[in-house]
Chains A and B, each alone.
Chain A
């Protein structure tokens, strides 16, 4: 079983709800990111998405855009992100770790080189929000050859595309809850249940919901209709507010969110 699949599987082999926090690597320092991820793991995170910052993150709302700017201003690079994963594995982190970044970050590094380095440091997968189904082979094939899973995204506008995307998906399916960019939302109006149903008709790959989730109630509601909840902006905002002293706040928040997700 891959580490990602394991994150969605309970000890008795049944499907388990996963809580998936996101953090931007190097916001404001890589040391902070490392400590925050260790805090998340201690608080019950099942998988962590690590953002490699990009200068022009077109799928992100203002909160994560600013995190990207802070991280790049601090000088963080793709190599630093790989080194971070290597250190987290040395720290004893066993849950799956995936990178969330943009096509150009991977392309400019060289997809094959990126995949090889990822496999070497113990990375499990990659999420590329600007690589849709039609463009994915260019990335998926080198990543898969190195044993890494490219996560597929589906959106509220995907409709007839869901089946095709889900049937070819690996790791987990990232179900985008809402139109627009990342960021906290008061209400999620999309019929998530119907989207997840379409995914399940095509694959048994788990399906987690992200975009707009910030409260334990939202996490529980989304996880109840799917296999997990993904939270980014809300965590990045805590980091922005508390900086280096953020660990207790992150741990407390992730614990509440993970509990709500697991109980769904």
Chain B
């Protein structure tokens, strides 16, 4: 079946703008503003200054020597997005979109959040730029990421719990979209991942592409050659899209996205969209979704609130179908093992989301040779997950 010829923002068959008419002028206005400002010298300089002097960019490309020695194969480098201000890659996009919103004279930001990292990043930039901020978060996620809820409130944001559906990220996105239809004039919806209606998947990818722009330079400086593989975790897919983007033309570089298999892709308790889902239309985009045969969106599961989403960004859907990127599934057990492994081996506690990427690197590196290199994006730090991992291991520790 053909997409409509008037449709905008396509990645192959995927993407588009499947949203209520009420929001159409808002996304058109956003696209026009983005096209106008993205290459404007003042906008670029201001964002670059924020990246350097507020977020702490460039982030390190760290050679994980202990891990490399222990795994006995390819050299493993970690792209340390966990060292950014607020502790994750989410700040890259939050700063970019908030600055754009400011240039558009918006005074209020709304956002959805899963693990809370995007909510914290949005609350942070709202505080910095003097904007009002409301974050939607599933009630189940508020419980498993209680620390981040308090951080957002500390930063001056209002956190609204979403009890509908599964009380997770999907429902937070739905509720933020509903809220946006009721208040558009002064409000920018700061979507946290490479998803939703056009132009969001492109805007978020562009702001996150700083990850691969830096990593490409850094690895060339360190090794004098491109990496053999780039590995990142995929929920909606923003850190992975950012990690892949500048390597896409480099055909020798394997791009590997790690989805959350939850309790396994052969169970219902999974969030591995590209591994188990089918093409559909939801949250403004045509892409892959976990759904039943009637198109009802599935109640997905992962230990990681940030990957617990039944869809994936449209550009990943395209990269999946074209074969340019590979998408593997990592179970809760593997991710928790990797979480503990990286903590002990390198003294780096990764976010449970990022631990999915670490887990695959642990599987892949031993199959490769010492002259080969892997870049693993550590999208965030794991402080927020410590209590949940303790509970997973049977210790009754609460935030």
Query: A residues near B, CB below 8 A?
Result: 54-56, 58-59, 61, 65, 72, 77-78, 102-112, 129-138, 142, 153-161, 165, 176, 179-181
Q: Is the CB of A155 within 8 A of B21?
A: yes
In the assembly, what is the distance between CA of A155 and CA of B278, in Å? 32
Whether B343 is near chain A, meaning CB under 8 Å from some CB there, is no
Which residues from A are CB-within-8-Å of B171? 56
Q: Is the CB of B6 within 8 A of A137?
A: yes
Q: Is the CB of B178 within 8 A of A138?
A: no
Question: Given known contacts A104-B281, A179-B182, is B291 in contact with A56 (CB within 8 Å)?
Answer: no
Q: Is the CB of B20 within 8 A of A54?
A: no
Q: Could you name 14 residue pairs across A and B whose Cβ atoms are closer than 8 Å?
A: A55-B297, A56-B171, A56-B297, A78-B295, A104-B295, A111-B1, A112-B1, A131-B18, A133-B21, A137-B2, A176-B21, A179-B22, A180-B181, A180-B182
> Which of A102, A103, A153, A161 lies at the interface centre, i.e. has the most chain B CB atoms within 10 A of its CB?
A103
Which residues from A are CB-within-8-Å of B165? 55-56
In the assembly, what is the distance between CA of A78 and CA of B21, in Å? 24
Question: Given known contacts A58-B174, A132-B19, is B25 in contact with A158 (CB within 8 Å)?
Answer: yes
Q: Which of B16, B182, B294 contacts A105 (CB 8 A)?
A: B294
Q: How large is the interface on B (under 10, 10 to 19, 20 to 34, 35 or more residues)?
A: 35 or more
CB neighbors of A among B1-47 (8 A): 1-8, 16-26
Which residues from A are CB-within-8-Å of B289? 104
- Chain B contact residues: helix, strand, loop or mixed: mixed
Known: A106-B295, A161-B24. 6 other contacts (CB 8 A): A56-B174, A58-B20, A59-B178, A138-B2, A180-B178, A181-B178
In the assembly, what is the distance between CA of A159 and CA of B185, in Å? 14
Query: B residues near A, CB below 8 A?
Result: 1-8, 16-26, 164-165, 170-171, 174, 177-178, 181-184, 278, 280-284, 286, 289, 291, 293-297
Which residues from A are CB-within-8-Å of B283? 58
Which residues from B are CB-within-8-Å of A158? 21, 24-25
Which residues from A are CB-within-8-Å of B177? 58
Question: Given known contacts A104-B281, A130-B281, A179-B183, is B25 in contact with A161 (CB within 8 Å)?
Answer: yes
Which residues from A are CB-within-8-Å of B295? 54, 78, 102, 104-109
In the assembly, what is the distance between CA of A56 and CA of B296, in Å? 8
Which residues from B are CB-within-8-Å of A130? 18-20, 281, 284
Q: Which of A65, A77, A107, A181 contacts B181 (CB 8 A)?
A: A181
Which residues from A are CB-within-8-Å of B296? 54-55, 72
